[in-house]
Every structure is written in structure tokens, then in C-alpha cells.
Amino acid sequence: MSETLFQVTHTKIQSFQRCRKQYWFSYVSGLDWPPSRDTPAAIVGKGVHRAMRRLCETDHPEDAEHELDAYLRMPKHHEAAPGTEYHRLAFEILANGIAAHESIVSEDRYAELSTWVPSRSRGITIRAMIDRADRLDPDHWLIIDWKTGRYDLDEIVDAQLDVGHLALRTSRMLPAGTRVTAIGWNLRSGHQRVRELNRDDARKTVDYIANFAARMQATSEFPATPGPHCTFCDWRDRCDEAISLERTELTWLDDDWERAAEPF
Ligand code: SF4
């Protein structure tokens, strides 16, 4: 991979859109990243994703259940330990995931595709990943991004699926005529967000990301945009604007705002 290509990820774009100061902290400042906040919701989400990966790999639900059980029994995950509400919730979500897995009939499948998609003509390389990919027939693939929260923001799910589509097309080198059904599948609510994507969509996704990357690279001002997302920002302890807003006891951290920012 060329050193000169500007690296772009879905998370990086989201950070720039959400709060330029958070983007600056994470991608411009050169500061070491603080440890990420292990909320109970994040523990449940990560544990279920690991279990779903095992299930996709072996097709044996007991492998998935053991992976989740061992993960939630780790001391650092005590907030979702056996006997807690979050432990019960994690296994409920996994049961839905096992049913979802068993409903998919495919010729072959891959767990957690992850790759870089370089575009030298546009000066960028995109980190693309997707939780699962299935070949339904030689001309039709399915990709899935598992969701485990109470709410999903449609626009963000669509953007994730578009990037996941790039991961599949690049890593499997799909012919132009191959179509891809992309699903953001919420294992808690059962809701499925479905997109039908082709190679032209992939090209336009790269065009959009390249245009957005040009804007990120040209930006020299990084003002803070405090809001509900600060609750889960890893840089919050170093952010004067967020600390000062907390001290004035504004109401943007009330329950409704918190639910919008964090789906548990
Ligand atoms: S704490 Fe809030 S305002 Fe500060 S960098 Fe993070 S998201 Fe931005």
C-alpha cells in the first residue's frame, strides 16, 4: 500500500461529521488514543459479534455460545457477567443470531471480510469490512452487518453497507455483472435494512468517499461540537468544551439524548 494515499475508514468519516475536534484528536493531533470506553452495551455488542463469527466459521451454535460465555466471564466485562441483565440480553440476541444464521441458505460463506481498497487515481485507500458474506449463487452475493442495539440510524447503516460492499467486491474480485444484496440486520429488533448494490454503486461510493476525503484533507479548523455523542467520546476527559458544558449542567445529557446517542 502506498504511503502517499490518504487513509479513510467509515469511523473516520463519522468522526469528522460528528465533531471536528474529535476528528482532530483521533486523526490529526498525533496523540496516543485513550482506551475505549467499555460500556455494557459495547461489551454485549462485541461479544455477540465474536460469537456470530464463530457460528459463521463452524456452523455449530455451541461454538458461538461458548465464545460468548467465555467473553462475558472475563473480569474486565464484569458489567455483563453471568446473572446480570446484560448477560441475559446478550444470550437473547445470540439466540436470534443463531435463528438468522440458520435461515440463510448459501453455497459458501465468509466471516468478517476486511481489506484495504486503494484508489491511486483518487489518492485514497479505504478500509472496508463487513461482518459476513454469503455466495447465494454464482451471480448473487449477500453481505450482512449485524446490529445489536435498540436503535439504528438508517443513514449510518446505509453508509456502512456501501463500504462493506467495497470489501466484498475487492476481496472476492467479483465480475461486473454480479449483484449484491446488503443487509443491516438488527438481531435485537429483527429489523432488516436492505440495499441492492451493483458495480456502478461501488464506483460511486469510492467517488463520494474521495470527494469527502478531499474536504477532510483541506480542513484546517476543528471546532468542538459538544452534544449527546460526548457521553461516549474517548477524548472527553481532555476536551475543555465538553467539560465546561457538563459544569454548566445543561440538559443535553438527559435520558432522551443519551438514548439517541447510545442505543442501549
Ligand atoms: S467530548 Fe464531545 S465535543 Fe469534545 S471532542 Fe469528544 S465529541 Fe467532540
CA-nearest residue for atom 3, ligand 1, is 226
Smallest CA separation from ligand 1 atom 4, residue:
239
> What was the pLDDT predicted at 177?
95
Name residue 142's beta-bridge partners.
134, 181
Count of CB atoms situated within 10 Å of the CB of 247: 8
Whole-prediction pTM? 0.88
Q: What is the pLDDT of residues 69-84, one digit of tens each?
A: 999 999 999 999 999 9
Confirm or reject: Cβ of 242 under 6 Å from ligand 1. Answer: yes
**If 0-12 CB within 10 Å is exposed, 13-18 middle and 19+ buried, where does residue 116 land?**
middle
118 has which bridge partners? 125
Q: What is the pLDDT of residue 261?
A: 47
Atom of ligand 1 nearest to the CA of 236: 1
**Which ligand 1 atom sits nearest the alpha carbon of residue 25?**
5
Stretches where the chain sits below pLDDT 50 are 1-2, 253, 257-264
Whether 132 is in the pocket of ligand 1, judged by its Cβ within 6 Å, is no
CA of 244 to the centre of ligand 1 (A): 11
